[in-house]
A and B are shown apart, each in its own frame.
Chain A
Amino acid sequence: QSVLTQPPSVSGAPGQRVTISCTGSSSNIGAGYDVHWYQQLPGTAPKLLIHSNNNRPSGVPDRFSGSKSGTSASLAITGLQADDEADYYCQSFSLSNWVFGGGTKLTVL
């Protein structure tokens, strides 16, 4: 059981908007620690998608955005594309540990 809770799966049609939630506690997200998001395409290593709650590394399209409020965070993907189909993980810091969510599989219908 992960410290950060994500829905196991989400889906959407091409062009639609989807959101992925990441719920933590007062020991991690609620303590003020930043939330980061990673995209893992099938058979590849994870890639940093959003850092420090809402910042996109160079090269990441602005279709991807992050937000954080209280003990939760969210990743939003607009204009869904077929190659967005992947696993998405949130990550933060909690009680001297770097912690991940359990991951969310995004299916593009």
Chain B
Amino acid sequence: EVQLVESGGGLVQPGGSLRLSCAASGFIFSNYWMSWVRQAPGKGLEWVANIKQDGSEKYYVDSVKGRFAISRDNAKNSLYLQMNSLRAEDTAMYYCARVRGNCFDYWGQGTLVTVS
């Protein structure tokens, strides 16, 4: 069974940093692109970043470029999101998701980031 478990969320002041983690199990992690998707309170879904299987390609939504960094450790079956220079508008539930084709076929339960 595919499982994605996020951690690392919390309350942080504007300008601060946070590192999110996602532990993957139930599939061959190194075979898949992975992604972070966020959802602000009461709002819709927003794709944040994607990373290729070997980490050689990374893509970001414009609003986080230069502030967020996606990475992965295939030996540990883990995905990460380093978030710097956080703003109030980054407040959201952050979901880790597995990418298949151009869709997100499995999602974690999310970790809440509050910037205040």
A61 within 8 A of B: no
Q: Mark B83-103, 1 if CB is under 8 A from A, else 0.
A: 000000000000100001111
Contact A45 B101 (CB under 8 A): no
B11 within 8 A of A: no
Residues of B within 8 A of A84 (CB): none
Interface size range of chain A in the complex = 20 to 34
Given the contacts A38-B45, A46-B45, A100-B44, A57 and B35 also touching, CB distance less than 8 Å: no
CB distance from A91 to the nearest CB of B (A): 7
Total A-B residue pairs with C-beta atoms closer than 8 Å?
60
CB distance from B75 to the nearest CB of A (A): 26
Residues of B within 8 A of A100 (CB): 44-47
Given the contacts A33-B102, A91-B104, A99 and B44 also touching, CB distance less than 8 Å: no
* A38-B45 Cα distance, complex, nearest whole Å: 10
CB contact list, B14-56 vs A, under 8 A = 35, 37, 44-47, 50
Interface-side segment among A9-17, A47-55, A72-80: A47-55
Closest to B106 in A: A48
Q: Contact partner of A102 among B37, B44, B102, B109, CB < 8 A?
A: B44
The total of chain B residues at the interface (CB under 8 A) is 21
* A49-B97 Cα distance, complex, nearest whole Å: 14
Contact B95 A48 (CB under 8 A): no
Closest to B98 in A: A48
Contact A51 B101 (CB under 8 A): yes
CB distance from B64 to the nearest CB of A (A): 12
Contact A52 B44 (CB under 8 A): no
Closest to A40 in B: B45
Residues of A within 8 A of B46 (CB): 100
Contact A45 B103 (CB under 8 A): no
What are 17 pairs between A and B in contact, CB < 8 Å? Answer: A33-B102, A34-B102, A36-B104, A45-B95, A45-B109, A47-B107, A51-B100, A51-B101, A51-B105, A91-B45, A92-B102, A98-B35, A98-B104, A99-B47, A100-B46, A101-B44, A102-B44
